[in-house]
Amino acid sequence: MKDIKMDKAQKLINGFLASEKFKFSDLKPSSIPDKLPGVYAIYNLNETLYVGRTKNLRQRLYNNHLMGPISNARLKKYIIEDMTCFPNINTLNEAKEYLRKNCYIQYITVETVIERGKLEGLLSYALDVKYIHEEH
């Protein structure tokens, strides 16, 4: 049973790593089908900044991470607060522009909430993600 789970995990990771990459500068709402559930990663040139999961990729990536207010997008908040890595980013608009000019996303469709949660954790570890939100 353990080998079957490891094989499935490896297939999910390989599928994710083989998936298409989208620059935030090219991202439009129509780039991603509506109500598509999945797990995603946001990268800059040097590292994986964030890994997340959602039941609606289009809304989360475009409306929340790129265009939404700081209350809806943890990544913009992390960038603004990280004075060591981003000393010149102090506002929501500056964080948005940084994402638009320097970052890209990658995602994989995952139908069930349990599998999305497991894959989010697995990818966060495997990709050595920079920002992980605190537990409640």
Who's near 50: CB < 8 A, 6+ residues apart? 41, 42, 74, 75, 78, 129, 130, 131
Tens of pLDDT along the chain (136 residues)? 567 788 888 888 899 999 999 999 988 878 888 899 999 999 998 899 999 999 999 989 888 888 888 787 789 999 999 999 999 999 999 999 999 999 999 999 999 999 999 999 999 999 999 998 765 4
Rounded distance, CA 99 to CA 119, Å?
Answer: 23
| pTM for the full predicted model | 0.91
